[in-house]
Structure 1
């Protein structure tokens, strides 16, 4: 007990000889220093974050850059005019001209961004594009009478609608009228597709197309140019088309055209004989592919064709069926039937798509399509009504092939 009391006395003697006022002052000063340190630490963290953001912006490419593709396939990048003075722009144009001279390409196929935008803006102001236009297409045509060739160059487009990272391309078809009992029957003489230009609402394609065309066929020929949004994973979206009647051309004189894109229309390139039979008890529909007439040139005699049948109803698509390959002649005999299952008896409001393809060694080419259904064209709707009335009896009728 005596030892415990001595220890307690020693502890009391160790207490600091300060008053309570000094003690609370020292505690307040310590808290203040802690707050100052935390404030300095927070400021340093904010400055570090700002530096990281600026570094990321410098590393990432600017969204305002425009990607241009020249005739030789080289991608070039140019910043907006606000970021460069006139001397830098002139130097860039000189480099482009030097590149053209090295490659031996004509200077008219590659236009610098500054001069091209000024020319296009002046042209668009003179034309006065209609509101809601899908864009404008510029190109030049030259018919050489001595060589019997039609030259298409200088393909450019501007004012195309933006859809993210879209790819633009132009499909070119040379059509010729064919005398027939079918009004407006056309023959696709030649077909080409331009190169694909990415991420640009005013692409310059820089392609050259040469068509073999006799002098007597010029009056009956039409050039059709379709501007498409190219998509390698799904169908291409057609933005519009431009048609030129070649009778307007003069021999050995270049004609530069600048036209607004119009709503695309289909052309009749043949006809197909299809029979339909309604089987409500077994909930099936029978599609009979009998014959097909095409207007393709005679050079396709060595190639084969096949037909593909697609049936869809209420946004549901049945598995397609294909016919056996046949020789591509003016009159193709199929004589095949295809059965498709319809889950509901009341679902006879469906659509039948008949597509005829020409197959080559490594690719296929669409010859024409015919669409049948209740809500389709007048002839297709009449055929559909006859099928519904003639239960378990096939009804055959000719339908135009469109492309």
Structure 2
């Protein structure tokens, strides 16, 4: 624009057009491009605004859910999820949930055997479900041969077959243990001289094993020896189920004669294989209990170059706490641990507590259970006042020997 002054002193404005050196087609193209960019900017702005308000609304719902602590929003989301699922998938999910609930109820029933004062029970947790999961009744029979050779001091065992095993039997096998009793007449402690297992027979209630085992029994009088055969149902993913057992005392064998047995399987029985020195200390202010594993004593003559360790499982009011393990120790006649472990023990006067102590030895293929013992404030057939002594001397450790069973 330009301006000029007239003679009368008034200012006048003169205007004229600026002509750009572009064609009309280019001008309209630039205009269309500008409009398109403007519309794109508006769309991007609208999307960002939508994302912002959606995020703000979601955050408000989450904050309300966690702050209020009510289950209304959770139930609403669950209902929306259920409605969105197809009927077939929903049925499968419900069936799986029901099966999980049933399994949890079964596990709680198993633990009640150990955590409630009635009925009395000292069954180790490694064998939970071995006998209680199935109806009691006839367990079947086991046929085997025994022959003792006095010249070579060897015992030959031939496991022939098992017959009429219970209906729940799937894949049976036989575990064999040869026990030697201590020389002391008053002692019930035994040692495991030999331990073997037969092969697993698939899908049979009348399995035929036909396996021979040879045991060298030099320096062991027959009067102190016994052989125990346990028929078990193999389980690849869990504990093997005990079907039944039979025991034969070798002192009744006649030298150089073969004996055939066809024994009826009986309920599981316990064998004492050693002792463990345990200390207990109650800390009422901290609501904790201190469990000490001091020593492990065994009469086993077979002390091999193996390491042993102790595992402690504590159950309080039907709840299992995280187990703890001791460090490895070289196995000997008397293995010294001198280690303590702390566990929570709320409401000392009313808490039901079971302490399961398990001794294991390490093998190249894994671990092997040596024996187990239990301590707690429950009534069992093995009378023990260790817990009462601990409660009478608070904040002071009380030590006592406990028998290890297998």
Deviations 1:262-281 (A, max 9, x none): 12211111111101112232
Does the 8 Å contact 2:279/2:293 carry over to 1?
yes
Equivalent of 1:391, from 385, 391, 394? 394
Equivalent of 1:295, from 290, 295, 299? 299
DSSP 3-state at the match of 2:311: strand
DSSP 3-state at the match of 2:223: coil
* 2:161 corresponding residue in structure 1: 156
* 2:373 corresponding residue in structure 1: 370
* 1:354 corresponding residue in structure 2: 357
Equivalent-residue separation in structure 2 for 1:232 and 1:347 (angstroms)? 39
User: Is 1:135 aligned to 2:140, yes or no?
Assistant: yes
Superposed counterparts of 1:279-358, under 5 Å: 279-300=283-304, 302-346=305-349, 348-358=351-361
Equivalent-residue separation in structure 2 for 1:281 and 1:345 (angstroms)? 10
Does the 8 Å contact 1:188/1:295 carry over to 2?
no
Superposed counterparts of 1:69-218, under 5 Å: 132-163=137-168, 166-180=170-184, 183-214=187-218, 217-218=221-222
**Offset, 1:344:** 4.6
**Offset, 1:357:** 0.7
Deviations 1:104-142 (A, max 9, x none): xxxxxxxxxxxxxxxxxxxxxxxxxxx922111110111
**Offset, 1:216:** 5.1
Does the 8 Å contact 2:303/2:331 carry over to 1?
no
**Offset, 1:212:** 0.5
Equivalent-residue separation in structure 2 for 1:323 and 1:376 (angstroms)? 28
Deviations 1:3-59 (A, max 9, x none): xxxxxxxxxxxxxxxxxxxxxxxxxxxxxxxxxxxxxxxxxxxxxxxxxxxxxxxxx
Change (3 A) 1:181 1:252: closer
Does the 8 Å contact 2:190/2:300 carry over to 1?
no
Does the 8 Å contact 1:169/1:228 carry over to 2?
yes
Equivalent of 1:228, from 225, 232, 255? 232
Deviations 1:228-277 (A, max 9, x none): 12222222222221111112222222111011111221111111110111
Question: Which is bigger in relative contact order (C-alpha 8 A, separation at least 6)?
Answer: 2
Change (3 A) 1:376 1:239: farther
* 1:84 corresponding residue in structure 2: none
**Offset, 1:147:** 2.2
Equivalent-residue separation in structure 2 for 1:271 and 1:181 (angstroms)? 17
* 1:257 corresponding residue in structure 2: 261
Question: Mind listing any 5+ residue stretches in structure 2 that lack a counterpart?
Answer: 1-135
* 1:56 corresponding residue in structure 2: none
Q: TM-score, normalised by structure 2?
A: 0.63
Q: TM-score, normalised by structure 1?
A: 0.63
Equivalent-residue separation in structure 2 for 1:309 and 1:291 (angstroms)? 14
Change (3 A) 1:211 1:139: same
**Offset, 1:205:** 1.8
DSSP 3-state at the match of 1:340: strand
Deviations 1:273-328 (A, max 9, x none): 1011122322211101111101222342x211111111112332111111111111
Equivalent-residue separation in structure 2 for 1:345 and 1:352 (angstroms)? 15
Question: Mind listing any 5+ residue stretches in structure 1 that lack a counterpart?
Answer: 1-130
Equivalent-residue separation in structure 1 for 2:256 and 2:181 (angstroms)? 24
Deviations 1:172-216 (A, max 9, x none): 000011124863111111111111122211111222211111375
